[in-house]
Structure 1
Amino acid sequence: MLSREDSRRLAELERQLRREDPEFCARMSGGPVARPAARRGATLSLVLTAIVIWTAAIILAVLGWWIAAVIAALCATTVASTLTFRLLRRRPDPT
């Protein structure tokens, strides 16, 4: 059995842990884990990055810099593939 001081200290540590790492506390209690809100911002930034790189690839191709245009197109395709993977992974499985 804990003393009054030990109980107070344990409650204080528990409150501090809940403030600092609520995801860990939710996992330990078996509750649902909240998804971070930064996911939407990361998706939007990937879309904008792919658009900018593809635009640069087109401009480089028009200027006749074919090697640079191909490299930029490959980079844009990689970013678009990453975006597609993230979006497909987020969706629940219909089966």
Structure 2
Amino acid sequence: MLSKEDSRRLAQLERQLRRDDPDFCARMGGGNFSVPAPRPPLALFFVAAAIAVAAIVLGAVGWWIAAVTVAAWSLVTAAGAFYRLRKFRTP
């Protein structure tokens, strides 16, 4: 019989194993665990587009330093979105 602390620790290890290696848990447990399907980072693309529009507006107003800063921010966000998209598409 496990103590309350041992049961809690075992449950914690089990949750961590399910999160780290769901395929192994599915094989060992008879496929009882559902693995959530990854989603493409659409929200991140929309955020990058909105930031790019803000950079264009700032450039049109004449605030060049702010426009360049926001444009760089948009590029970093878009790069992160493309990185996550590539990670999403690779098996």
Give TM-score, length-normalised by structure 1. Answer: 0.60
Indicate conservation of the 8 Å contact 2:39/2:88, yes or no. Answer: no
Displacement of 1:81 in angstroms is: 0.4
Identity %: 28
Which residue is 2:35 aligned to? 34
Q: CA RMSD in A?
A: 3.5
CA spacing shift, 1:70–1:25, aligned 2, 3 Å: closer
Q: Report the equivalent of 1:60.
A: 58
- The structure with higher relative contact order (CA 8 Å, sep 6+) is 2
Give the whole-Å Cα distance in 2 for the aligned partners of 1:60 and 1:24. 44
Higher CA-based Rg: 1
8 Å CA contact 1:50, 1:77 repeated in 2: yes
Instruction: State how far apart, in whole Å, the 2-side matches of 1:76 and 1:30 are.
Output: 40
Shift of 1:28: 5.6
Query: Match of 1:23?
Result: 19
Q: Which runs of 5+ in 1 are unaligned?
A: 1-5
Match of 1:83 among 81, 84, 91: 81
Query: Relative to 1, partners in 2 of residues 1:28 and 1:50: Cα closer, same or farther, differing over 3 Å?
Result: same
In the aligned structure 2, how far is the partner of 1:47 from the partner of 1:27?
A: 30
Q: Distance in 2 between matches of 1:26 and 1:84?
A: 25
Give the aligned residue type for 2:48: A
Once residues 20 and 86 of structure 2 are traced to their aligned partners in structure 1, the CA distance between those partners, rounded to angstroms, is 26
Which runs of at least 4 in structure 1 moved beyond 6 Å after TM superposition? Answer: none
Contact 1:53 1:73 in 2 (8 A): yes
Q: Normalising by structure 2, what TM-score?
A: 0.63
Q: Partner amino acid for 1:85?
A: Y
